[in-house]
Amino acid sequence: MRRALALAASPGVPTGPNPRVGCVLLDGQGRTIAEGWHRGAGSPHAEVDALRQAGEAARGATAVVTLEPCNHTGRTGPCSRALMASGVRRVVFAQRDPNPVAAGGASVLRAAGIEVEGGLLEDEARVVNREWTFAMDRGRPFVTWKFATTLDGRSAAADGTSRWVSSRAARLDTHRLRALCDTMLVGTNTVAVDDPLLTVRDADDQPLATQPLRAVMGERELDPGRRVFDSSAPSVHLRTRDPHEALKELFELDRQHVFLEGGPTLAAAFWQAGLVDEVVTYLAPMLLGSGRAAVADLGIGTIAEADHLLVTDVTVLEPLEPGDDTNVRITMTPKEPH
């Protein structure tokens, strides 16, 4: 199963919209017959990939899979049927499929007389598909709130300038994180004032082949000539001020991981709604003393009411250019429901 999990997380495999899945076929002596993994939407599922390699050798084998075999016909057929047709004797899976559309494969296999065991290394399997699993369980996308700030918590100076609070190393790291998400989300004010492009770019400032959806949230009418609406990536205007409604619309668009990069007002709205699941901040060793705060008023009047976060990672980003500052990336999760 650990090998199957490693296959599921193969480099280059997208984190959505389909789950990442690995499969290992074993013979009666526990020797590997074939391995397979899912390479993204529209490609063969992990079980089918392994079965095609194994051919007749799959008969009587054990299939070790990181996710319950699907029981759904989409762009590909159900893996439960493929396993039955191949003649495998036993199926061991890690995580039960939380997607109601595809679930039920284990029951189908058992009804066909195949021995089925589930739950092996389930926690590890859920980590491989953290955002997908979250979205299927909660019925909304996982939200990562990212912002850059000075040592005194400012995201822009008093005159509104913010280029650059973060270092080049931090900005490149941000693009790396953007590429792991399927949606970039900002508010209408950010689009009107800053005119961001919101694309994912490499170290040479060239756009990647696959781009997240650029989502703009708010009821304000916007100039269609703003860069966020150009042809370099798909875009959508969510005409609501309600974070719950915005995430509902994005989930209906099959989006599972939102990268929240809006201003302090949008950040505060999501935080107060309890819809921030992860916080990534880039801390720059500079002081401004005044200017725009990283987040707007949260309605907290005393230190006893402060919201606390759990730090899960601290990474020092060394300068890439002469004169640039060392930045620190801090990754956190809410400590308690907020």
Is 318 annotated as catalytic? no
Does the annotation place 317 within a ligand binding site? no
Is residue 263 marked as binding? yes
Q: Which residue has the tokens 């209408």?
A: 188
Backbone angles phi and psi of 296, in degrees to 5: -80, 180
Q: Is residue 194 marked as binding?
A: yes
Annotated ligand binding at 178? The verdict is yes
Residue with tokens 């798909």: 234
Question: Is 155 a known ligand-binding residue?
Answer: no
Residue 292 tokens read as 């725009």
Confirm or deny that 265 is annotated as ligand binding.
yes
Is 144 flagged in the annotation as binding?
no
In order of 169, 324, 330, the CA distances from 318 in angstroms are: 7, 9, 14
Cβ–Cβ under 8 Å, residues 24 and 3: yes
CA distance 113 to 192: 61
- The answer on whether 268 is annotated among ligand-binding residues is yes
Among 35, 47, 68, 131, which one carries the catalytic annotation? 47
Please give the Cα distance from 318 to 78 (Å, whole number): 48
Would you give the end-to-end CA distance of the chain in angstroms?
36
12 belongs to an annotated ligand binding site: no
Annotated binding site for Zn(2+): 45, 70, 79
Query: Annotated binding site for substrate, which residues?
Result: 162, 178, 198, 201, 261
Binding site residues, as ranges? Answer: 45, 70, 79, 148, 162, 164, 178, 190, 194, 198, 201, 261, 263-269
Annotated catalytic residues are: 47
Residues within the annotated binding site for NADP(+)? Answer: 148, 164, 190, 194, 263-269
